Amino acid sequence: MLIGEENVSRHAHPRIASIDDGVQAAGRVAIGAVVVAAAAWIAWEFLAALVWAAIIAIATWPLYNRLAAIGGKRSQVLAPLCFTLVMACFAIVPTMLLARQIAEGSGALLASLNTLGLNGIAAPPWLSRLPHAGQLLDQWWQENLSDPNALVVWLRRVNLESLATWAGSLGGALLRRVLELLTMLLALFIALRDGAWLALRFRALVRNLLGMPGENLLITFADAIRATANGTVAASLVKGGVFWLAFVITGVPHPLLFGATMTLFSIIPFGAWIILIASTASLLVVNDAPLASAGLGVFGSAVLLIIDHLIQPVLIGGAARLPFLLVLIGIIGGMRSLGLLGLFIGPAIMAALLTIGREWIRAGDN
């Protein structure tokens, strides 16, 4: 052996090993990225259902933990199963009640259509009393809707083929929603059953990759999602109670049904406005009460604007420790970009942005 060969080999070997380790690490990262991208591409149709399951699990985790602690070890499967079934009832039962109301009203609707074909649609008395355009609107109504022959001609203009195509696409969309709901419920059950294990492993992974700042960012993101869900539910309950009382006072038909529907639809973007328009229209057409309809419209619009743009952001921002402006931008921008999912993800992203900004400011001060 040559003099110094041992020293040369001792220093050369670790260098080659370090290069090999770097190449292997880069290869593992590349293969992992490809596998994750391929899995996301395959599961893209169900990605929204999986995200919804994660949001519901994060939002309800404290409540679920309290309920699961009552059952002890026996509740490892029973508790998540029961909790998942309860969440399913919140989605399925209102849909069934709405379908029942539609089915019960279908007979009256057919009878009304038969009457319209014989007698036409009578013009409401208040139409001619409208200022400026009242006489013109009443004349147009008499010529096109009050005359049975003109009404039949107008109805015949409906493209039956387009109607059949729309009905077929509606059935396909309904089947897709059912599959998404089942996927979401199954994912929710798994998230609740293995939530503690998943949270520990995910936090460890983030801590290893990004350190403590990354773990703090993950905690902030989860807290923001929970605060957004709680604030949205609280705002929906307030809307349902206020509007139920307004429906009772103004004489809206079926005020309890309209109030419950208002509570559920308030979670959907612009859903509360749809119920408000439907309730004011029922007052106008069914009860022939233009003043009550106008009053309900003005009052309801003010209530929705105040709750959506003042109360709800304050509820979310207070729980998530977010400024009012960031909450408002997160809610509105998130819904415009991601739809209903953006209502929960938008404020969470704003919270993550604020956390990153604070970490940078601390690093700059040091």
Question: pLDDT tens, 290-328?
Answer: 888 888 889 999 998 888 888 888 777 766 667 777 777
Q: Which residue is it, tokens 């008499």?
A: 142
Please report whether residue 206 resides in a domain.
no
pLDDT higher for 340 or 7?
340
pLDDT higher for 174 or 342?
342
pLDDT higher for 364 or 34?
34
> Do residues 187 and 216 share a domain?
no
pLDDT higher for 169 or 138?
138
> Do residues 266 and 130 share a domain?
no
Supply 95's token pair.
């849909």
Yes or no: say if 151 and 121 are a contact pair by the CB < 8 Å rule: yes
Q: Which residue is it, tokens 């309801």?
A: 300
Yes or no: say if 229 and 346 are a contact pair by the CB < 8 Å rule: no
> Do residues 184 and 265 share a domain?
no
Q: How does residue 70 score in pLDDT terms, banded at 50, 70 and 90?
A: confident
User: What is the C-alpha to C-alpha distance for residues 214 and 186, in angstroms, rounded to an integer?
Assistant: 29
pLDDT at 115: 56
Domain boundary among 193, 220, 239: 193
pLDDT at 299: 92
Average confidence score pLDDT of the chain = 74
Segment among 33-47, 63-77, 134-148, 330-344 with least mean pLDDT: 134-148
Please report whether residue 68 resides in a domain.
yes
Please report whether residue 147 resides in a domain.
yes
pLDDT at 176 over 80: no
Please report whether residue 29 resides in a domain.
no
- Containing 68, the helix (H) or strand (E) segment is helix 47-71
CA angle 125, 292, 239 (to 5 degrees): 145
Please report whether residue 19 resides in a domain.
no
> Do residues 263 and 352 share a domain?
yes
Share of the chain above pLDDT 70, in %: 67
> Do residues 222 and 361 share a domain?
yes
159 residue type, one letter: N
DSSP secondary structure code for residue 19 in this structure: H
Which domain range does residue 61 map to?
A: 45-193
Segment among 193-197, 284-288, 362-366 with least mean pLDDT: 362-366
pLDDT at 337 over 50: yes
> Do residues 74 and 186 share a domain?
yes
pLDDT at 21: 66
Domain boundary among 135, 159, 193: 193
pLDDT at 201 over 70: yes
What is the rounded average pLDDT of the residues 86-90? 84
User: What is the C-alpha to C-alpha distance for residues 47 and 210, in angstroms, rounded to an integer?
Assistant: 25
pLDDT at 215: 78
Helix-helix angle 47-71:195-250, to 10 degrees: 100
Please report whether residue 272 resides in a domain.
yes
> Do residues 140 and 217 share a domain?
no
User: What is the C-alpha to C-alpha distance for residues 287 and 231, in angstroms, rounded to an integer?
Assistant: 35
Yes or no: say if 316 and 227 are a contact pair by the CB < 8 Å rule: yes
pLDDT higher for 179 or 93?
179
> Do residues 183 and 222 share a domain?
no
User: What is the C-alpha to C-alpha distance for residues 238 and 180, in angstroms, rounded to an integer?
Assistant: 29
What is the rounded average pLDDT of the residues 200-222? 79
Helix-helix angle 195-250:340-365, to 10 degrees: 120
Domain boundary among 162, 193, 224: 193
> Do residues 239 and 176 share a domain?
no
User: What is the C-alpha to C-alpha distance for residues 334 and 339, in angstroms, rounded to an integer?
Assistant: 7
> Do residues 257 and 177 share a domain?
no
User: What is the C-alpha to C-alpha distance for residues 222 and 246, in angstroms, rounded to an integer?
Assistant: 36
Please report whether residue 14 resides in a domain.
no
Residue 251 Cα to chain centre, angstroms: 30
Exposure class string for 186-224: b at 16+ Cβ within 10 A, else e:
ebbbebbbebeeebeeeeeebeeeeeebbbbbbebbbbb
Please report whether residue 26 resides in a domain.
no
> Do residues 189 and 222 share a domain?
no
What is the rounded average pLDDT of the residues 344-362? 76
DSSP secondary structure code for residue 124 in this structure: P
pLDDT higher for 183 or 130?
183
pLDDT at 2: 45
pLDDT higher for 147 or 352?
352
User: What is the C-alpha to C-alpha distance for residues 121 and 106, in angstroms, rounded to an integer?
Assistant: 18
Q: How does residue 342 score in pLDDT terms, banded at 50, 70 and 90?
A: confident
Yes or no: say if 236 and 317 are a contact pair by the CB < 8 Å rule: no
Supply 118's token pair.
């014989």
Yes or no: say if 258 and 245 are a contact pair by the CB < 8 Å rule: no
CA angle 289, 292, 294 (to 5 degrees): 105
Residue 20 CB neighbours (<10 A): 10
Yes or no: say if 287 and 253 are a contact pair by the CB < 8 Å rule: yes
pLDDT at 247 over 80: yes
Supply 164's token pair.
């059949």
pLDDT at 328: 78
pLDDT higher for 179 or 246?
246
* DSSP states along 96-120: HHHHHHHHHHHHHHHHHHHHHHHH-
18 residue type, one letter: S
> Do residues 243 and 352 share a domain?
yes
Share of the chain above pLDDT 90, in %: 3
Per DSSP, the three-state class of 194 is: coil
pLDDT at 245: 92
What is the rounded average pLDDT of the residues 149-177? 58
Give the pLDDT confidence of 112-145 residue by residue, as tens digits.
Answer: 555 555 555 666 665 666 555 666 767 766 666 6
Segment among 74-88, 127-141, 270-284, 329-343 with least mean pLDDT: 127-141
Q: How does residue 5 score in pLDDT terms, banded at 50, 70 and 90?
A: very low
Q: How does residue 8 score in pLDDT terms, banded at 50, 70 and 90?
A: very low
Q: How many domains does the chain have?
A: 2
pLDDT higher for 171 or 194?
194
pLDDT at 334 over 50: yes
